[in-house]
Copies of this chain bind each other. A is one copy, B any other.
Amino acid sequence: MTATASTDARTAARELITPERLRDFFAPRSIALVGASETSGWARFIVAASSAVGYTGPLLPVHPRHEVIFGRPAFRTLRDLDEPADLAFILAPTEAVQTVIEDAAAAGVRNAVVLASGYREAGTGGVELEDSLIASAASHGIVLLGPNCLGFLNTGAKAAPYALTVPLPLTAGPVGIALQSGALASVLLAFARAHAIGVSTVASLGNEAMITTADMLDYLVADEQTKVICMFLEEIGDPAAFSAAAQRADAVGKPIVALKAGASQAGQQAALAHTGAVAGDDAVVDAALRQLNIIRVASVEELLTTAALLGYDRHPAGRRMGVLTASGGACDIIADRASARGIEIPPFSAETTQVIAAQLPSFATARNPLDVTGYVLANARTTTLTAIDRALDVAVEDPGLDFVLFTGFTVPDIRPPDEAAAGLLEARVDWIAARMASAPIPVIPIAPTCIDVTGYARDLLGQHDIRLLGGIELAVQAIDNALRWQDGRGQVRLLPGQPPALVGTVTAWTESTARDLLTSAGIPVVPGRLAGSADQAAEAARALGGPVALKISSAQVSHKSDIGGVLLNVSGDAAVRAGYEQVVAAAAGHLGTGHQGGNEVLVTSMRTGGIEVLAGVTRDPGFGPVLAVGLGGIWVELLRDTSLRVLPADASQVRQMLDELRALPVLQGARGVVAADLDVLADVIARIGALALSIPGLQVLEVNPLWICGDQVEALDVLVVTDRSNDSEYREKAGTEPAT
């Protein structure tokens, strides 16, 4: 299949994927298991998963040789079905899949899950096979999940064509899950079970040949049962579609929480090996996810705990936390973790303090974080409510708090054999649940550590729709994540994405051409002149006044300083003339004779007393142009103190980037320098970003240093590297001739 045919097939496939088709796809009422046999673990898993979700429709075995499978009569092919199944789960080996698709088409089956591997993830031959598969399915109007996937389960529609273990009991609930790694689904479901976190639709996306991650996001955004979306990502895919889906999620207030692999180089290699994905620079992914208000987490535990908070409970709107515990040690640990995440524990109001103090033994202190002390637990057997409950009752009314963290649930796994004790406990949980519901601020119940909620505790809390977040560490992470999601709402913009530029044919512009480009875009450039001789250099220096910089001007020298092609702070006629000869000689030594432009030297004014900033645009293979902003010198070299944004970014976004720098105090004048006007600086940097976006084939546009002193900004040095194939476009765009 040619590249064009492949593109046509994918375009036809895209047209099939509508919200209605996806809704139908994920809610089949009859499922054919093609290639199922009794010895197939996959088929057994599907049968068990179907039972786990309460699937009541037919599971129709289809096999060319077996008569009866799992006690059900088998069909030879899909064509033999009495009526078309809603979905075919294709367990057949890779080489048989194409035929099954043809059968499905003939039988009127419109949806298929393809388990087989050996497609795109297996290299060149696999890519062709996958293209054929899509072309075939699309031509028949068949929507396909996979290949190389394990299917999905949908607790709302009670369907589970899902070929992996489902830990029991499976709880239905608000958490939608999309995974680019199939086997990880069982890991997530096991943790969800342990904490009674309910799921809506869980899908393994495989190679995303037709249904992509962005499609799945769209489906989950539209799905009424889903209140929060969890993703495991190995690659982002198409940034435009992905960001559009994220924008829709933001618009309707459905948080997206993502565990994105590849934070480490090692992680990138692992991702490369098993999905064939090309992972970009992780810092860019980090920036992009933040721009899309997608909460990035580091573990499955954090992923699901955050989802549990955002999916079920009223989550907090502010950072002022009340803490109610029966352990001083827990108070200490909560305070430490909260402080590390910028969550405040303000004093209780006078009224709250007074009411709580009346409930406590004399040696306990009525303060936030509150330790009601173990005495309260030891004496809890005779009354429904304990001191921690009374504290809850009043703390939720405290106007100085945004939410209350509550560790007061100590429900055993087994119902207390003493009926009176059980009755007291149940009455207490009733009361707390009702108080949580009536409270003006959210109450977040947590367990002190990440342990399972099982047996009686699971049942009793479940009846009251109460979920304990699993442990202080994870709960505080989840709360911080929820607050960050809240803060980021309403600011999600589309990331257009751009095809990667060609590699191997890049060209650096001469600095003087690059300076003209900046000037034409309204970006201030330090005064300078091109000199073709020592005389011209001296004349330029006189005209500029004050000490000057001398820089060789050749497109063939990209690292001018490294070859001795730059002299700074040169004063006086003689020195300028000597300097001119020196940098020309250095370039000649580097390039040999006969090179172009090797006798041209750029003479520019020196600037002192301000601050030097770096503003650079590079091209990420996935996201396209990315803007990096930082202070020059050690800040970038040693401290990697840069802020990134996938472009476009307007001046207000650049202003936020500056605020994120550790070096911000330097810009604000901390080192005795003139404070920078950050709005002016942000405006100029935003122009640099916009300019970069306007140049087709741009590889690098780096202004370093960009000098700022108060509200005066000038580009002191600029590097432009482009894909040479677009030369004519540059000329039109920049109105200048690129060198070479």
With A179-B329, A182-B374, A270-B371 known, 15 other A-B pairs at CB within 8 A are A41-B379, A183-B377, A187-B449, A262-B336, A263-B336, A264-B335, A264-B340, A267-B333, A267-B335, A298-B473, A300-B472, A451-B452, A638-B662, A638-B663, A638-B665
Chain B, residue nearest A333 (CB): B261
**Which 3 pairs between the two chains have the least Cβ-Cβ distance?**
A264-B339, A181-B329, A41-B378
Check A373/B266 contact, CB under 8 A, given A378-B45, A449-B301: no
B residues in contact with A639, CB < 8 Å = 639, 662
Check A261/B332 contact, CB under 8 A, given A121-B363, A663-B638: yes
Q: Could you say which of B190, B471, B671 contacts A634, with CB atoms under 8 Å apart?
A: B671
B residues in contact with A301, CB < 8 Å = 449-450, 471, 473
A538 at the interface (CB under 8 A from B): no
Report A137-165 CB contacts with B as 1/0, cut-off 8 Å: 00000000000001000000000000111
A633 at the interface (CB under 8 A from B): yes
A275 at the interface (CB under 8 A from B): yes
Q: How far is the CB of A385 from chain B (nearest CB, A)?
A: 16
Q: Are A367 and B273 in contact (CB under 8 A)?
A: yes
Q: Are B374 and A267 in contact (CB under 8 A)?
A: no
Residues of A within 8 A of B (CB): 39-42, 45, 117-118, 121-122, 150, 163-165, 179-184, 187, 190-191, 194, 232, 234, 259, 261-267, 269-271, 273-275, 298-302, 326-333, 335-340, 345, 361-365, 367, 369, 371, 373-375, 377-382, 410, 448-452, 454, 470-473, 633-634, 637-639, 662-663, 665-666, 670-671
A639 to B262, CA, bound (A): 28
Listed A/B pairs (13) with beta-carbon separation below 8 Å: A118-B363, A183-B327, A261-B329, A262-B336, A263-B339, A265-B339, A299-B449, A300-B448, A300-B449, A301-B450, A301-B473, A450-B470, A639-B662
B residues in contact with A42, CB < 8 Å = 378
Q: Are A337 and B298 in contact (CB under 8 A)?
A: yes
Chain B, residue nearest A341 (CB): B264
Q: How far is the CB of A188 from chain B (nearest CB, A)?
A: 8
Q: How far is the CB of A484 from chain B (nearest CB, A)?
A: 19
Q: Are B330 and A299 in contact (CB under 8 A)?
A: no
A371 to B179, CA, bound (A): 16
Q: Are B336 and A261 in contact (CB under 8 A)?
A: yes
Q: Could you say which of B183, B184, B335, B473 contacts A266, with CB atoms under 8 Å apart?
A: B335
Q: Are B452 and A373 in contact (CB under 8 A)?
A: no
Q: Are B41 and A381 in contact (CB under 8 A)?
A: yes
Q: Are B454 and A273 in contact (CB under 8 A)?
A: no
Chain B, residue nearest A369 (CB): B270
Q: Are B179 and A332 in contact (CB under 8 A)?
A: no
Q: How far is the CB of A639 from chain B (nearest CB, A)?
A: 7
B residues in contact with A345, CB < 8 Å = 266
B residues in contact with A470, CB < 8 Å = 450
Q: Are B336 and A670 in contact (CB under 8 A)?
A: no
A40 to B379, CA, bound (A): 7
Q: Are A117 and B378 in contact (CB under 8 A)?
A: no
Q: How many copies altogether? A: 2
Considering residues A45, A300, A670, which has the most beta carbons from chain B within 10 angstroms of its beta carbon? A300
B residues in contact with A265, CB < 8 Å = 339
Q: Are A264 and B187 in contact (CB under 8 A)?
A: no
Chain B, residue nearest A377 (CB): B41
Q: Could you say which of B165, B179, B336, B379 contacts A264, with CB atoms under 8 Å apart?
A: B336
Q: How far is the CB of A276 from chain B (nearest CB, A)?
A: 11
Q: Could you say which of B299, B410, B472 contacts A472, with CB atoms under 8 Å apart?
A: B299
Chain B, residue nearest A274 (CB): B328
Considering residues A163, A165, A183, A663, which has the most beta carbons from chain B within 10 angstroms of its beta carbon? A183
Check A339/B266 contact, CB under 8 A, given A274-B365, A639-B662: yes
A381 to B43, CA, bound (A): 13
Chain B, residue nearest A91 (CB): B378
B residues in contact with A275, CB < 8 Å = 328
B residues in contact with A182, CB < 8 Å = 374
Q: Are B338 and A191 in contact (CB under 8 A)?
A: no
A381 to B454, CA, bound (A): 29
B residues in contact with A39, CB < 8 Å = 381-382
A335 to B450, CA, bound (A): 23
A361 to B118, CA, bound (A): 10
B residues in contact with A367, CB < 8 Å = 273
A363 to B328, CA, bound (A): 54
Considering residues A259, A331, A375, which has the most beta carbons from chain B within 10 angstroms of its beta carbon? A331
Q: Could you say which of B183, B266, B365 contacts A374, with CB atoms under 8 Å apart?
A: B183
Check A270/B637 contact, CB under 8 A, given A261-B336, A333-B300: no
Check A41/B380 contact, CB under 8 A, given A190-B451, A261-B329: yes
Considering residues A42, A182, A261, which has the most beta carbons from chain B within 10 angstroms of its beta carbon? A261
Q: Are A262 and B332 in contact (CB under 8 A)?
A: yes
Q: How far is the CB of A311 from chain B (nearest CB, A)?
A: 18
Q: Could you say which of B299, B374, B379 contacts A333, with CB atoms under 8 Å apart?
A: B299
Chain B, residue nearest A374 (CB): B183
Check A187/B330 contact, CB under 8 A, given A336-B267, A365-B273, A379-B41: yes
Q: How far is the CB of A622 from chain B (nearest CB, A)?
A: 16
Chain B, residue nearest A264 (CB): B339
Chain B, residue nearest A275 (CB): B328
Q: How far is the CB of A345 from chain B (nearest CB, A)?
A: 5
Chain B, residue nearest A665 (CB): B638
Q: Are A450 and B450 in contact (CB under 8 A)?
A: yes
